[in-house]
Every structure is written in structure tokens, then in C-alpha cells.
Amino acid sequence: MHPGLINPAVVGYICAMGLALAYLVQRHELVHRLAVLSTLAGWAAHTVALIVRAVELGAPPFGSLPDAVSVAVWVIVLLEVLIEQRSGLRVLGAFVLPIAVVLILKATTARPATLAPALAGAWVWVHIALALIGIAAFVFNFVGAIMYLLQERQLKLKRPGAFYYRLPALETLDRLTFRTLALGFPFLTVGLLLGALWARTSWGTALTFDPLAFFSLVAWVIYAGTLAGRAAGGWHGRRAAYFAIVGFAALVVTLGAGLFMPGRHGF
């Protein structure tokens, strides 16, 4: 990715993160507005960078893992702005943007990657795109869980602190984690299935060991379990939140494995 194009986006996100955290500490109307502006500016620059990248490659701009992470960040930031706008959850940025910043920094500093010759064909793009949307949804699942646990702890301790005043109701937060799980899971599922099908057609088997595929399967099992628990076992609240965090940890390991371990996704 062109540094000249992606750097403004990274700077925009970092500024937005700083402002969002400042807003969390001291709720100042102006700070929030600046945070939103900065987020949008970063996102606009990011959009341009992705378009240029796509034109340059003559293909969707997520053919390598660093590129794909960059697109995931693009989706995450878009969702952050939309959810915040719709729900009025103004502290969301303070929780989501740090994750977005870490991911984009990882993506831009990872070793330059080229598209593997084995990777071609429309299904691969769909596989990656679906997985990315799933991952973006799970970021919000994770953030919702963190906010739930913070608020729940404050209410149980009976000592209202900063988070008590800033975070919404427990029910709202539990609903956010549930909805993002329900949204992300189908995307992840279909994304993984397509990946497995692709592996079988191109390598003859779906079951050879690939670190990214392995850990994403672990994450999928955790999320599937949580969803089943929620739907049938009446799971909710703290337990669901713990599982959301474990699931996200598995996803982080997945991405880490993809970025730093050799395998078919290493390109």
C-alpha cells in the first residue's frame, strides 16, 4: 500500500482515537465533534487509498493478509460511525478506535506481501470479504462485552465511577453483544466454508494444517457455542461477555498466526 496514501488515514485514526479517549475522560461536546470529524477524515483518506490500491492491483484490495486487515479496519470504522450515530452511544469510539489503530498499524508495518499464484478466482475474494465483515462485527461484539463487564462491575460494587456515568444500560450493552454475534457469525461461517471448499479444489484436501485456518476454526467453535448458549441455554450478560472476549482472543491469535506464521494464508 502506498505510504503517501495510507499514512493520512493512519494519522486521522490516531487523532480520532486520542480525541475519543479525551472525550471519555472529559465529556466536552467540541472534543466529540472533533473526534467524529477526524474519524471521517481518516476514513475518507483510507477509502481513497483502498481504491488506488484496487486500481493498481486490478483486483479487490484484500488479496494479501495485510491488505485484508486494512480493509477490515475500513469496515470497522464505518460500522463504528454508523452504530454511534444510530444508538447515540458516544463513547463507542473510545473503545473501538484503539483496536482499529492497532490493526491498521499492524497492517501497514507487516512485511510487503504479494498475491500467491494459487490465490485466484472469484470464490477466494468472496471468502475473504465475508470473513472480513465477520471479523469487523466481532470487534463490536468484543467491545460490547468489555463495556458490559465494566458497567456490571460498577453496579455490583455500588460505587459509581467514571464508567457508570458514561456507559449505557446493561440491557443495551447485552443487546449490542448479542446482535453483533448474530451478525458476525453467518459471515464467518460462510467465509470459512468457502475457504475449506477452495482448499479442497486447489490442494485436494480441506484438512491440511494451516495456522490461520486452524485458529479461525477455534474461534468459530467458540462463537458457535456462545450463539447456541444464548439461543437455547439462556446465556446472557456476564457469561456471554466472557465468551465474547475468549472468541475475540482466538480471532486475534488467528490474525497473528496469519501475519507471522508460515502457511497458506501467509502468501
Partner 1 sequence: MALFVAGLSHKNAPVALREQLAIDDDKLRELVRDIQGAGVLPEVVVLSTCNRVEVYGVAEAPGEARALAFRYLCRHRGIDLAGVEPLLYTHVDAEAVRHAFRVAASLDSMMVGEPQILGQVKDAFALAQACETVGPRLHTLFSQAFSVAKRVRTETEIARHAVSVSFAAVELAKKIFAGLARRAVLLVGAGKMSELAAKHLVEQGAFPVYVANRTWSRAQDLARALSGTAVPWDELETALGTVDIVVTSTGAPEPVVTREAVRRVMHGRRGRPLFFIDIAVPRDVEPGVDTLTDVYRYDIDDLKQVVGSNLRERAREAQRAEALIEREVGKFLARLGDVEVIPTIVSLRARLEEIRVGEVKRTLARLPEATPETRAAIEALSTAMVNKMLHAPITKLRESSRAGAGRSWLELVHELFALGRRS
What's the alpha-carbon Rg for the chain, to the nearest Å?
Answer: 19
Residue 2 phi/psi, 5° resolution? -65, 120
Per-residue x/- track, 200-239, partner 1 (CB under 8 A): ----------------------------------xxxxxx
Helix pair 237-260, 170-203: axis angle to 10 deg: 40
Least distance in Å: CB of 131 to partner 1? 31
With CB under 8 A as the contact rule, the residue among 44, 51, 55, 169 that binds partner 1 is: 169
What's the rounded Cα separation, in Å, for the pair 216 and 247? 10
Total Cβ atoms within 10 A of residue 177:
27
Least distance in Å: CB of 80 to partner 1? 20
- Written as nine digits, the cell of 8 is 493520512
Is 172 a binding residue for partner 1 by CB under 8 A? The answer is yes
- Written as nine digits, the cell of 6 is 495510507
Is 164 a binding residue for partner 1 by CB under 8 A? The answer is yes
Per-residue x/- track, 29-68, partner 1 (CB under 8 A): x---------------------------------------
Q: Is 208 helix (H, G, I), strand (E, B) or coil?
A: coil
- Written as nine digits, the cell of 135 is 471479523
Least distance in Å: CB of 32 to partner 1? 11
- Contacts with partner 1, residue ranges (CB under 8 A): 26-29, 151, 155-156, 158-161, 164-165, 167-172, 175, 234-239
